[in-house]
């Protein structure tokens, strides 16, 4: 079974600064996807970014980028130019077999962006 560990229960950052959220995972699979989901107070789950394990190039989506270290089984999320609307719970998730529906989630990191 896979495990996903987010070692930072809470983090805070000043508006416009950069913050990095950590995620490590444990698996024996070679074919998988990794995801970062954002959950604001509205409770809606919103996909932030995804990474296919076979791709060495780190994924980027506007102000969000990942540092994917496959050998170290690490998948951190960097948020640049933090905005107040980035305040949310962030979950790292592992997609077994390259799936998007059989996900194993970490416990989450609560990110607060301060004005």
Of 18 and 102, nearer to another protein (C-beta) is 102
CB 64 within 8 A of CB 36: yes
Least distance CB 61 / another protein (angstroms):
13
Sorted by sequence, the CB contacts under 8 Å of residue 80 that are 6+ apart come out as 18, 63, 64, 65
Least distance CB 91 / another protein (angstroms):
6
CB 53 within 8 A of CB 72: no
Q: Which chain residues interact with another protein by CB under 8 A? A: 1, 4, 32-33, 35, 42-45, 47, 50, 52, 91, 93, 95, 98-108
Of 60 and 114, nearer to another protein (C-beta) is 60
């Amino acid at each position: 079974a896979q495990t996903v560990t987010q070692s930072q229960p809470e983090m805070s950052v000043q508006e416009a600064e950069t913050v990095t959220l950590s995620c490590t995972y444990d698996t024996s699979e070679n074919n998988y996807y990794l995801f970062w989901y954002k959950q604001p107070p509205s409770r809606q789950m919103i996909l932030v970014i995804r990474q296919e394990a076979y791709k060495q190039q780190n994924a980027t989506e506007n102000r969000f980028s990942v540092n994917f270290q496959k050998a170290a089984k690490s998948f951190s999320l960097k948020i640049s130019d933090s905005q107040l609307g980035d305040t949310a719970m962030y979950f790292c998730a592992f997609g077994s077999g390259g799936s998007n529906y059989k996900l194993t989630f970490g416990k989450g990191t609560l990110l607060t962006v301060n004005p």
